[in-house]
Amino acid sequence: MPELPEVETVRRDLAAAVLSRRIATAEVTGRRSVRRQSAPAFSEALVGRALVRARRHGKYLLLDLDDGAVLVAHLRMSGQLSYGEGGRARAAHTHVVITFEDRSELRFVDPRTFGELFVAEELDARRLPVCIGTQGIDPIAEGLSEVQLAALLGRRRTATKAFLLDQSAIAGIGNIYSDEILFRSRLRPAHRTDALRRIDVRRLCTSVTEVLEEAVTLRGSSLRDERYRDLNGVGGAFQERHAVYGRVGLPCPTCATPVSRVRVAGRSAHFCPRCQR
């Protein structure tokens, strides 16, 4: 699913493709993709505006408009943005089509319809739309220090995987990267945060940054059963580096012990029973 590295890849592609282009029309065909405002209000906020900057916070994509408002996109599980010449056949589940003055099109395709687009006008001190102001630190855009991580852990008493998935603490980590970060930290998904030693916090901090940076470099993960594609329809390559995610029964790359899967925090969690404690 699109997590921080996938959204960052799309952000970079958008920055290269659509900045300074002016919007001619914004067509909303699906019923659910634009739900925080009416379709006409959404279109009206976009038509005539130009995109001046592409930002990201966690899994949110933020496209600044030239009037100060922000076009916000969240891909959730199956959302996909694609950009190209207008007039091409539309893929199934195309819910929003933004056409620029040069007739090129930015399309939002989303089979499961959990993803959303909206235009936000109120921004907070971090220049984030007020409605997503509960998002925690973005470890790539803002950096994450060991001191900050220790403060976020505070007096929490929960599974370390649940902590990593909490967007109000660290923004951008989902199920795939939480498993890969825990593998590299040598911690089990269910390891209690209140039992983390200083050395564990240090490893966790290093792993969060390293795993996400490597995944960004390889343009994210594209798995067989998911649909992540970049703005031009090309998949990522980080799945080839996955140590544990989606590898139940396959050998751990470090010790060859078969990878296990358990349920933690309501999600499937993959880990090496020998390397992770």
Partner DNA sequence: AAGCACACCTGCTAGC
Partner DNA sequence: TGCTAGCAGGTGTGCT
Exactly one of 55, 156, 202, 267 is catalytic; which is it?
A: 267
Residue 59 annotated in active site: yes
Among 174, 189, 220, 236, binds DNA (CB under 7 A): 174
Residue 2 annotated in active site: yes
Closest separation in Å from C-beta 103 to DNA? 28
Minimum CB distance to DNA smaller for 132 or for 137: 132
Site for DNA in 23-52 (CB under 7 A): 32
CA distance 131 to 126: 12
CB 102 within 8 A of CB 21: yes
Among 93, 186, 188, 203, binds DNA (CB under 7 A): 93
CA distance 62 to 158: 31
CA distance 99 to 70: 17
Among 3, 8, 64, 138, binds DNA (CB under 7 A): 3
- Centre a 10 Å sphere on the Cβ of residue 238 and count the other Cβ atoms it contains: 25
Provide DSSP, 76-138. Answer: TTT-EEEEEETTSPPPTTEEEEEEETTSEEEEEE-TT---EEEEE--B-TTS-BGGGTT--B-
Number of amino acids touching DNA (CB under 7 A): 34
Closest separation in Å from C-beta 48 to DNA? 28
Among 82, 94, 99, 167, binds DNA (CB under 7 A): 167
Site for DNA in 240-259 (CB under 7 A): none
Residue 139 annotated in active site: no
Strand segments, DSSP code E, in the chain are 23-28, 51-57, 60-65, 70-74, 80-85, 94-100, 104-109, 116-120, 260-264, 267-271
Closest separation in Å from C-beta 249 to DNA? 11
Closest separation in Å from C-beta 128 to DNA? 12
156 binds DNA (CB under 7 A): yes
Among 149, 165, 170, 216, binds DNA (CB under 7 A): 165
Residue 214 annotated in active site: no
Q: Which of 85, 135, 133 is nearest to 107 (CA)?
A: 85
Exactly one of 11, 56, 59, 188 is catalytic; which is it?
A: 59
Integer angstrom CA distances of residue 36 from 59, 67, 72, 79, 166: 18, 20, 11, 17, 23
Closest separation in Å from C-beta 114 to DNA? 5
Which residues would be at the binding site for DNA (CB under 7 A)? 1, 3, 32, 58-60, 74, 76-78, 92-93, 111-114, 132, 134, 156-159, 162, 165, 167, 174-176, 224-225, 265-268
Q: Which residues are catalytic?
A: 2-3, 59, 267
